[in-house]
Structure 1
Amino acid sequence: MVILFICELNKNSIQIFRYHITTFKAPDEQYKGIHTEFLEVKERNLVNTLEKIKIDLIRTHKSMPNPAAFAAIAKLHCPMEETLLPITKRKLIQKIGQAA
């Protein structure tokens, strides 16, 4: 299980998603899809950093013993569902594809 943090640069709230990637195979090509599940919203501050939030998630969700975590921080204000989440998904798949 993998964690995705999405937030805006000038805001203190961070949205936390759990995601997994699936692979679709066509006769001539292979496609990847990403499925997200919203977990919660947390406040980010000096004490509650991304690392601390990840540790808290590990403690509360026993199904995630040591998950990989990715953070997407937007510099501009964008609607989450309509813009920020789809762009983040697309970028994440691109990064994972480059690493593979």
Structure 2
Amino acid sequence: MLQDPKVYSTVIKSRNELHEAMEEEEVDVFMFTSWGRLPLYEADFGWGKPVWVSKIHLPAEQIFLLDGEGGDGIDAWVGLNKQDILQLQQDGDILAFTSGV
């Protein structure tokens, strides 16, 4: 819990500025999050360790990074609009580092 009202106010102000910028058409905002190094494949809720970990919902213009199973790669979940996805699927630089788009 944030104890300092100034810190809380700064966080809320920054969040509001981000949302305002996202609503402007001439500004492209892409949000990134990484769950790298979290031991998600080690979690056991009583039915064994997971064989695959993912995020349920990924809004457009959001990138979600997660360690691949076995820790030897990175799963990148990329939420884009249809036009941007088509462009990404044809990008040679991106394709050189992927096993599937």
TM interval, shorter chain, is under 0.3
Task: Return the structure number with greater strand share.
Answer: 1
Per the normalisation by structure 2, the TM-score is 0.25
Give the structure, 1 or 2, with the largest relative contact order (CA under 8 Å, sep 6 or more): 1
Per the normalisation by structure 1, the TM-score is 0.25
